[in-house]
Amino acid sequence: MNDQAQLLPGTLDLLILRAVSLGPLHGYGILLRIGQISGNALLIEQGALYPGLFRLVRQGLLKARWGTSENNRRAKFYELTAAGRRRLREETDSWNRLAAAIASALSQQPEET
Amino acid sequence: MKLVDSLRLRIATLFQRSEMNAEIEEELRSHIQHRADDLERSGLVRAEAERRARIEFGGHEKFKEECYEALGGTFIETLVQDACFSLRVLRKSPGFAIVAILTLALAIGANAVVFAVLNALILRPLNVPRAESLFGISRWSDKSPYQSYPDYLDLRDHNRSFDGLAACNISQAGLDTGDNPARVWLYEVSGNYFDALGIQPYLGRFFHASDEHGPNSAPYIVLTYAYWHAHFQDDRGVVGRTVRLNKHPFAILGVAPPEFRGTLLFFSPDFFVPIVNHEQVGGADDLNARGTHWIFMVMGHLKAGVTPAQAITDLTSIGSYLEKTYPQDDGQMSFSLARPSLAGDFGGRPIRAFVAGLTLLAGLILLAACANLGSLFAARAADRSREVALRLALGAGRVRILRQLFTEAILISLIGGAVGLWGSVVLLRGLSVWQPFPEFPINLAVSPDASVYGVALLLALASGFLFGAVPVRQIVQTNPYGVIKSGSTGTGGRRMTARDLLLVVQIAICAVLVASSMVAVRGLARSLHSSFGFEPRNVMLVDTDLSMAGYSSDKVPAMQRRMSDAMQTIPGVASVGLVDSPPLHMGWTTSIVFTDETTDLRPANAAATTIRFEVSPDYFRAAGTALLSGRTFTGHDDKDAPRVAVINQEFARKVLGSATNAVGRYFKRQDGTRLQVVGIVEGGKYTANLAEDPQPAMFLPILQSPSSETWMVVRSNRDPQQLAAAIKSRLRGLDAGLPSFIQTWNEAMNGALFGPRVATMSLGVLGVMGAMLSITGIFGMAAYSVSKRMRELGIRMALGAQRKEVLHAALGRPLKLLAFGSATGLLLGILASRVLAFIVYQATPRDPLVLAGVVLAMALLGLLATWIPAQRVLSIEPLILLREE
């Protein structure tokens, strides 16, 4: 438990977009996919996923439809819209820039500054 | 667009709530089922797997709520929920709710009324097209708008700045439509009046500049809509009818539109007649007298692109030409421009100052009310700290709790605002039809319009946010666990809290208001007890104008004699005097006079501007004006005798140097006549202003300078009503066609007392409101502090504290704050005496009586407000109390 990192505010949306970009998924599937692609390193409260999903649908970044899951249960499947795909690209770029900048700042040795 | 969309979505979600909830519910359940499937696969039994899945999922309801919120569905719903909750809470403490709502209703109502007056008098332009470019011309030197007719013609014809200059004068005449002669008020206006203003007739036609062909050439009448409606019953056939005005035939041309009540806001005439017929209407041939400034207002629209400054330069250059050409008649002729609606700066300046002062005080009331409610709300928030802490502990967001508190505040402010607005609308409706003087059509249309409603709503919302914001810090800092563990003990600290500061501010404001109302009352009392220079008690004034019944020149004095003889025959009448216009009444005449040695009689050389009265020999006795030396007039001071005058002391001092040897000496009028002073009478108040400084006045024998405008001063001890009936029947016996107006002198003085009375009334009302606010404020604070410390007080009493000590402990603080606030307010009041002086005559808060009165009033208010809490303290039964808590 303790080796899992807390999510930074705002990053859940990015993770959801990324998870869904690989193909339509239902909520629980998104959770599993995030765990899978992050190597289970992130701590996400299960229920917290849903307000994020609803928000993304409302912003027009995701679209949802009801279907049947692999377990043969009714579930709501999410997939990216064109706007969502664009947003994912932008957010990924800006996240990478930020991460690189912070990593670079933190890796500087004191005498070099 | 976006706003509309989001609003539509929100409204849609409001109605689809259950549907959406079901969908969210299904999705969350699906998630838990999937998770349980996984757990089951890892070896748990189904029931255990589902239980685990639910636990892992977290706060089901909370997430559901969040999902719903994420869909944007909660805004209106939360609002409705909060409003309902607030209503429930308020119903539980009706005392608080009623005090809060009444406080706000008073404050917002007062502000709405004051704003409506401000709006009607100052903000709203006159109801004519292009009102923003309409200006009236005032003299620069004394701000007087009066002009003479020849000067008006020169200004009209030679200026290059106006699209047309119109003249307008208020006048009174007798109208005979066939049966009953009546006195009417009218505007004498230049032929181009309606065209220059851009007004179109409602019915028939208007007269134009082309209808003017010299004196008495345009006997036409244009009725105002109101007069047509009230006196001709909307009869469209009235156009073309001939009526008799002062016995002269005049043709009714048309009716003005309903929204046009003349160019003065507060004086709506009955109809309009061309000014070229002034001799017939006004009874004097002033059209050629350049030195007689009798036209009340000259106004016009500035040409497009001409600034007021350019227009002033233009007019002043014409003025300096007139000054040079007619040095005998025209004094300094430089001009300024002002809005005509309040008679330029002449009436505008005092009215604006008064309204500004009122607005300021009303704003203070609202501020005090907000401070009051702010501290009440803070106290309530403290009382509810346990409830708030509980809700916080149960997971409510602070924002959500604040939102609910704000909803409560806004709800109160809206209800209070609505009640206040309702009250003010009733008051304003009354004010709009109120005619303060029966004989004048003076009236102010202050009926509330959209802007008044808007301002009231805005004020309500703003004050709601203002006092709702007071407890915010308290809520934000609430530590739920601390409060629940220790119970609501409250902070027993001695330090000055924000709440205390609010109370001090509020009491200071209230003390200012109480002080100003006392100053006003004192001012009025003082003006009423000052010496008028006559004795208005037991006197009837009979106002007649002989020109209205067709009397002119030689017939006038004979008729006046018959009238005054007829009055003498009424039993119980002690004396009867005649005067052209009584002192301390609207309308007075001034003349310039010169010392006997002056030969160049141009206005610049005048020794004084003096008030002039034309009186009969018995006037002084009838009016009760004391003769100091010399004699009054006799019947021999007629037009064949040498010209004489009676003067007052101020006249003697100004023109003749001193009063001691003034009798027998001479002075000159502008036409060169030498007058000999035969008597000196006491000074008094002459113009319609009780605050006037001593003014020079001269009295001339009515036989030597006849006036058809005649007021009879009838002194008698008889009952005014019987006397009035007797006077009326005698007059009817003399001439049934002579309109007259009979009133007591005290009634006639209402005009002069109007200003101080209105000021006193409005300040008095504001003062009472201030007092009420400070009572509720102190009461709230004291009651709260007592209820907070009940347990502590009980323990003190149980340990043997005396009642006095307990009282001191409980109420010492509110009373200290009261004393501090009152002292601050009194100080502020003294500093603000300049503001007060704008509003009330002889306003000086340094008056020891006022100071003592304010201190006494505030002490009484404190006593009153702490009475109930003190009773509660005294009735503490320590044992019961300690057992209960």
Locate B266 and state its tokens.
Answer: 């507060």
How would residue A1 be classed by pLDDT, with cut points 50, 70 and 90?
Answer: very low
Rounded to a whole number, what is the distance in Å from the CA of B25 to chain A's nearest CA? 11
DSSP-derived secondary structure for B416-467:
HHHHHHHHHHHHHHHHHH--SSTTS-B-------HHHHHHHHHHHHHHHHHH
Average per-residue pLDDT for chain B: 83
Give the span between the Cα atoms of B415 and B407, in whole angstroms.
12
DSSP-derived secondary structure for B245-295:
ETTEEEEEEEE--TT---SSSSB--SEEEEGGGHHHHHSS--TT-TT---B
Beta bridge partners, B627, equal: B681
Among B41-55, B275-289, B472-486, top mean pLDDT goes to B41-55
Beta bridge partners, B524, equal: none
Rounded to a whole number, what is the distance in Å from the CA of A59 to chain B's nearest CA? 9
Yes or no, beta carbons of B34 and A54 under 8 Å apart? no
Rounded to a whole number, what is the distance in Å from the CA of B68 to chain A's nearest CA? 8
How would residue B608 be classed by pLDDT, with cut points 50, 70 and 90?
Answer: confident
How would residue B16 be classed by pLDDT, with cut points 50, 70 and 90?
Answer: low
Taking chain B, what is the end-to-end CA distance rounded to the nearest angstrom? 58
Residue type, B699: F
Residues of B with Cβ-Cβ distance to A33 under 8 angstroms: none
The per-residue pLDDT for B19 is 76
Q: Pick from A50, A52, A58: which is nearest to B27 by CB? A: A50
DSSP-derived secondary structure for B764-807:
HHHHHHHHHHHHHHHHHHHHHHHHHTHHHHHHHHHTT--HHHHH
- Condensed to tens digits (0 to 9), the pLDDT of residues B337-350 reads 888 877 766 667 77
**For residue B145, with 0-12 CB atoms within 10 Å meaning exposed, 13-18 middle and 19 or more buried, which class applies?**
buried
Taking CA–CA distances from B63, the nearest residue in chain A reads A47
Q: Which residues, other chains included, contact A94 with Cβ-Cβ below 8 Å and sequence gap of 6+? A: none
Average pLDDT over residues B568-577: 91
Give the span between the Cα atoms of B820 and B807, in whole angstroms.
19
- Count CA atoms within 13 Å of residue A112 on its CB side: 6
Beta bridge partners, B271, equal: B186, B223
Q: Pick from B24, B30, B62: which is nearest to A73 by CB? A: B30
Rounded to a whole number, what is the distance in Å from the CA of B48 to chain A's nearest CA? 18
Yes or no, beta carbons of A74 and B26 under 8 Å apart? yes
Yes or no, beta carbons of B63 and A51 under 8 Å apart? yes
Taking CA–CA distances from B25, the nearest residue in chain A reads A50
Yes or no, beta carbons of A28 and B26 under 8 Å apart? no
Q: Who has greater pLDDT, B515 or B582?
A: B582
Q: Among A46-55, B77-86, B669-678, name the one with the lowest average pLDDT.
A: B77-86
pTM score of the predicted model: 0.70
Q: Which residues, other chains included, contact B163 with Cβ-Cβ below 8 Å and sequence gap of 6+? A: B196, B300, B301, B302, B303
Instruction: Residue A40: give its domain's CATH number.
Output: 1.10.10.10
The per-residue pLDDT for B577 is 93
Among A54-63, B138-147, B247-256, B579-588, top mean pLDDT goes to B247-256
- Count CA atoms within 13 Å of residue B516 on its CB side: 34
B483-492 LR contacts (CB < 8 Å, sep 24+):
B483/B385, B483/B386, B483/B388, B483/B389, B484/B386, B484/B389, B484/B390, B484/B393, B487/B386, B488/B382, B488/B383, B488/B385, B488/B386, B490/B382, B490/B788, B490/B789, B492/B789, B492/B792
Q: Pick from B26, B57, B70: which is nearest to A46 by CB? A: B57
B559-565 LR contacts (CB < 8 Å, sep 24+):
B559/B734, B559/B735, B560/B616, B560/B702, B560/B710, B562/B734, B563/B710, B563/B712, B563/B731, B563/B734, B564/B616, B564/B618, B564/B712
Rounded to a whole number, what is the distance in Å from the CA of A110 to chain B's nearest CA? 40
pLDDT at B667 over 90: yes
- Evaluate whether ipTM surpasses 0.85: yes
Yes or no, beta carbons of B62 and A47 under 8 Å apart? yes
Rounded to a whole number, what is the distance in Å from the CA of A113 to chain B's nearest CA? 41
Residues of B with Cβ-Cβ distance to A75 under 8 angstroms: 27, 30, 34
Q: What percentage of chain B carries pLDDT values higher than 70?
A: 90
Taking CA–CA distances from B61, the nearest residue in chain A reads A47
Report the largest interatomic distance among the alpha carbons of chain B, rounded to a whole angstrom: 137
Q: What percentage of chain B carries pLDDT values higher than 90?
A: 19
Rounded to a whole number, what is the distance in Å from the CA of B37 to chain A's nearest CA? 8
User: Within a 10 A sphere around the Cβ of A57, how many other Cβ atoms?
Assistant: 18
Rounded to a whole number, what is the distance in Å from the CA of A31 to chain B's nearest CA? 10
* CA B698 to chain centroid: 35
Interface test with B, best of A54, A62, A72 (most B CBs within 10 A): A54
Beta bridge partners, B223, equal: B255, B271
Residue type, B730: R
Interface test with B, best of A50, A58, A78 (most B CBs within 10 A): A50
Residue type, B256: A
Rounded to a whole number, what is the distance in Å from the CA of B386 to chain A's nearest CA? 30
Taking CA–CA distances from A72, the nearest residue in chain B reads B34
Interface test with B, best of A16, A34, A46 (most B CBs within 10 A): A46
The per-residue pLDDT for B493 is 46
pLDDT at B552 over 80: no
Yes or no, beta carbons of B27 and A27 under 8 Å apart? yes
Interface test with A, best of B34, B39, B63, B66 (most A CBs within 10 A): B34
pLDDT at B7 over 70: no
The dihedral built from the CA positions of residue B8, B13, B19 and B22, taken in this order, carries a sign that is positive
- Condensed to tens digits (0 to 9), the pLDDT of residues B503-515 reads 888 888 888 888 8
Taking CA–CA distances from A51, the nearest residue in chain B reads B67
Task: Yes or no: say if B548 and B246 are a contact pair by the CB < 8 Å rule.
Answer: yes
Yes or no, beta carbons of B34 and A26 under 8 Å apart? yes
Yes or no, beta carbons of A74 and B30 under 8 Å apart? yes
Task: Yes or no: say if B542 and B729 are a contact pair by the CB < 8 Å rule.
Answer: no
Q: Pick from B33, B59, B67: which is nearest to A73 by CB? A: B33
- Condensed to tens digits (0 to 9), the pLDDT of residues A27-82 reads 889 988 888 888 888 777 888 888 888 888 888 888 888 888 888 888 889 999 99
Yes or no, beta carbons of B59 and A75 under 8 Å apart? no
Q: Among B31-45, B201-215, B492-506, B640-654, name the one with the lowest average pLDDT.
A: B492-506
Q: Pick from B28, B35, B58: which is nearest to A45 by CB? A: B58
Among A5-19, B441-455, B603-617, B832-846, top mean pLDDT goes to B603-617
Kindly compute the dihedral angle of the four CA atoms of residues B804, B808, B814, B819, in this order, to the nearest 10 degrees.
90
- Condensed to tens digits (0 to 9), the pLDDT of residues B239-298 reads 989 998 888 899 999 999 988 888 887 788 899 999 999 888 876 777 888 877 888 889
Give the span between the Cα atoms of B647 and B681, in whole angstroms.
6
The per-residue pLDDT for B599 is 85
Chain A residues at the B interface, defined by Cβ less than 8 Å, are: 26-29, 45-48, 50-52, 54-55, 58, 69, 71, 73-76
List of E strands, B114-219: 134-139, 162-176, 182-189, 203-204
Between the alpha carbon of residue B311 and those of residues B95, B134, B137, B149, B308, the distances in Å are: 62, 12, 10, 20, 5
Give the span between the Cα atoms of A19 and A52, in whole angstroms.
13
Of the candidates B736, B549, B516, B535, the residue with the CA atom closest to the CA atom of residue B626: B535
User: Within a 10 A sphere around the Cβ of B178, how many other Cβ atoms?
Assistant: 9
Taking CA–CA distances from A49, the nearest residue in chain B reads B63
The per-residue pLDDT for A113 is 47
Residues of B with Cβ-Cβ distance to A58 under 8 angstroms: 70-72
Residues of B with Cβ-Cβ distance to A51 under 8 angstroms: 63, 66-67, 69-70
Taking CA–CA distances from A26, the nearest residue in chain B reads B31
Average pLDDT over residues B21-47: 87
Which residue segment(s) compose the domain that A31 sits in? 5-112
The per-residue pLDDT for B495 is 52
User: Within a 10 A sphere around the Cβ of A2, how many other Cβ atoms?
Assistant: 4
Q: Which residues, other chains included, contact B339 with Cβ-Cβ below 8 Å and sequence gap of 6+? A: B126, B134, B135, B136, B348
pLDDT at B494 over 50: no
pLDDT at B780 over 80: no
* CA B758 to chain centroid: 8
Q: How many structural domains is chain A composed of? A: 1
Give the span between the Cα atoms of B713 and B745, in whole angstroms.
8
Report the phi/psi class of residue B335: left, alpha or beta, with left for phi > 0 and alpha for psi in -120 to 50.
beta
Rounded to a whole number, what is the distance in Å from the CA of B53 to chain A's nearest CA? 10
